[in-house]
Chains A and B, each alone.
Chain A
Amino acid sequence: MSELLPERAVLLRDHVRDAATGLRDIGMEIDRDPTAIDRRLHLPAVALMRGCTVPVEYVSSPLRIGPYTYDMSSCLEHTLTIEELSYGDAGFMLACPGPLMSGVAVGALGDDKQRHAYYQRLAGPDPVWTFFGLTEPGKGSAAAELETTLTPDGDGFRLDGAKRYVGNAAYAQLGVVFCRRAPGPLGIEAVLVDTAEPGFRAEPIPTVGMRGARISAITLDHVRVEREQILGYDTLKPSRRGLVGAIRTLQRFRPVLAGTALGLTRAVLDHVRAERPALAGSARRLLEDLQDRLDATRWHNHAVASAIDAGEVRADRIAAVKTRAAELAERATLAAAGLLGPAALLRDPWLHKVYRDARAFEFMEGTGHIQRLAVFQGVAKGTFLR
């Protein structure tokens, strides 16, 4: 089904596939020590992640393949890149410096000056890790209910509250924090925060797997925020700012996250085939069934990402493909453990790692329960299965 991709996307996919070769051992190292990424910053895969969604005019040597130049501002190209890197190792990919979700938020909400400053910093010589701070301890990722406050303070503001389950926050230099300036959905803002500001603290949260994501908890205690740090404050109406930006970023990023889950799933199925090339009978049929599901979900994910590029953002379909991809990754890793025989998790450390990693996709960028509500809305409106 991938043959339906445009030529420039196929060239990109093949290029990233080469860059992802050999990432598994590094992924294992990062699983043991999430700071191990610091020793791998010279790798081409890191350069890819650093450049994702940074406009070419800011990058000293933008990615050029054949006649094409890439900055992954296309959701499809971003998704393909992340899928291939995740085939190498999803934890490695998530541990890399670069814009990740914060870049999508800044791109969607920032004014020219804010985007310029952000991209200049990301494209600088030093690696910059970023974070996307939405989820809160009491309210999860329910953006409309968040409680972190942005309070006027002299000629600026101060930020107070807590965020939880935020990737890379404990290691980042810069990030986007969603907060409440006033009651109601129009009172939500997105602010760009420098982690060196007094009052900002973040620490890692130990997890069962996907340790490269470096999930963190953030405490914000009177963090000074200038008006210029509020994304789109001077250029966008309140109805087009904070909450809209959170939703738009999550929707734009869900096919990318689905790509992460699908890259991991493909790696797992290939691993089973390599370890058990002579599988027969019901075991072979199980593997074939999983491969069919993978191919179908990949095709659907590419279609959803292409639709986003064409300006067609369908919340129900985006939610569905994220859920299918996350569930498939869990299903494939569970099946792989069975297909590789007794004590596979103790005998095969790589399988044990991806078995644990696959569980992360359920809660990243909205849990299955939240996605199902979006699918339900699509069914109720008659749009989902059309």
Chain B
Amino acid sequence: MTAVDSSAPATAAERLAAFADALDDCHERAVPGGVVVSRAGWAVASARRLGTGVPVPDGSGVLAARHGLRASGSEALGAFRGALLELHRRTLRDVLDAAVARLDQRESEGSPLLGRQLVRGSVADVALALSQARDVLRLPRPTASRHHRVHRELVDAGRTALKLYGAFGFTAEGPGGLLHLTELLGDTYLCPEDPEAEAGHE
């Protein structure tokens, strides 16, 4: 059984604050002291780091977005994309671990839900996607296209993981809010400029 880190943030607000800090770390690794701006001129970071900007919907005021900035250079963008995907992967890993612990506690017809084959299959699917993403991200010569593919696979795996929570996965208090932010960040920084070139992967 996977142990859940007891030092992990307990409340939704704490989880969001920790996520914002981790996002700022991604910016710091790519542009020390600054923020990375997407090719389309968008930047998303903690409101504290960004300074000015509009609140990100569902970021509860912790995250902010700005548009109209000059795009960061390729090197910074590449480093940031890799870091962002690592953040997405870590977030999803935490969501999966918490789902396993939760399903082990919840019972139906006298036995833990974690014992159901369908549930075990979904857990394994998410774990396989996490494992695959980790390995792909370790490959040399990362590209924007590869980053986008990994993002989409993590999004799909995230949706699978949320289904393990039932309706709790849709509440603002549950894991759905954080995973939504990872999707929104990918949509901002990892989505290709030319959707026609990438749509064939759907």
Q: How large is the interface on A (under 10, 10 to 19, 20 to 34, 35 or more residues)?
A: 35 or more
Contacts of B75 in A (CB 8 A): none
Encode contact with B along A262-297: 1 for CB under 8 Å, 0 otherwise.
Answer: 000000000000001001111111100100000000
The residue from B65, B108, B155, B163 contacting A367, defined by CB atoms under 8 A apart: B163
Write the nearest CB–CB distance from B115 to chain A, whole angstroms: 13
Q: Are A369 and B171 in contact, CB atoms less than 8 angstroms apart?
A: no
Chain B residues numbered 148-202 whose CB sits less than 8 Å from any CB in chain A: 152, 155, 159, 162-163, 166-167, 169-173, 176-177, 180, 183-184, 187-189, 191-193, 195-200, 202
Q: Which of B106, B108, B109, B196 has the most CB of A within 10 A?
A: B196
Q: Are A363 and B169 in contact, CB atoms less than 8 angstroms apart?
A: yes
Encode contact with A along B34-59: 1 for CB under 8 Å, 0 otherwise.
Answer: 00001110101000000000001110
B90 CB-CB contact with A under 8 Å? no
B79 CB-CB contact with A under 8 Å? no
Encode contact with B along A329-350: 1 for CB under 8 Å, 0 otherwise.
Answer: 0100011011111111110010
**Within the assembled complex, what's the spacing in Å between the Cα atoms of A136 and B78?**
46
Q: Are B191 and A373 in contact, CB atoms less than 8 angstroms apart?
A: no
Check A344/B191 contact, CB under 8 A, given A208-B172, A338-B202.
Answer: yes
Q: Are B40 and A341 in contact, CB atoms less than 8 angstroms apart?
A: yes
A24 CB-CB contact with B under 8 Å? no
Which residue from chain B places its CB closest to the CB of A280 in the assembled complex? B196
The residue from A139, A142, A208, A285 contacting B200, defined by CB atoms under 8 A apart: A285
Which residue from chain B places its CB closest to the CB of A211 in the assembled complex? B172
Check A362/B163 contact, CB under 8 A, given A205-B171, A208-B180, A373-B118.
Answer: yes
**Within the assembled complex, what's the spacing in Å between the Cα atoms of A283 and B171?**
32
Number of interface residues of B (CB under 8 A): 46
The residue from B106, B171, B199 contacting A338, defined by CB atoms under 8 A apart: B199
Which residue from chain A places its CB closest to the CB of B172 in the assembled complex? A206
Write the nearest CB–CB distance from A28 to chain B, whole angstroms: 11
Q: Are B163 and A206 in contact, CB atoms less than 8 angstroms apart?
A: no
Write the nearest CB–CB distance from A139 to chain B, whole angstroms: 7
Q: Are A342 and B42 in contact, CB atoms less than 8 angstroms apart?
A: yes
Contacts of A276 in B (CB 8 A): 195
Contacts of A359 in B (CB 8 A): 159, 162, 170, 176
The residue from B44, B65, B172 contacting A207, defined by CB atoms under 8 A apart: B172
Residue pairs across A and B with Cβ atoms less than 8 A apart, 15 shown, are: A140-B166, A207-B172, A215-B167, A280-B196, A334-B155, A338-B187, A338-B202, A342-B193, A346-B44, A346-B187, A356-B58, A360-B170, A362-B170, A372-B118, A373-B118
Q: Which chain B residues have a beta carbon within 8 Å of chain A's beta carbons?
A: 38-40, 42, 44, 56-58, 65, 67, 106, 108-109, 118-119, 122, 152, 155, 159, 162-163, 166-167, 169-173, 176-177, 180, 183-184, 187-189, 191-193, 195-200, 202
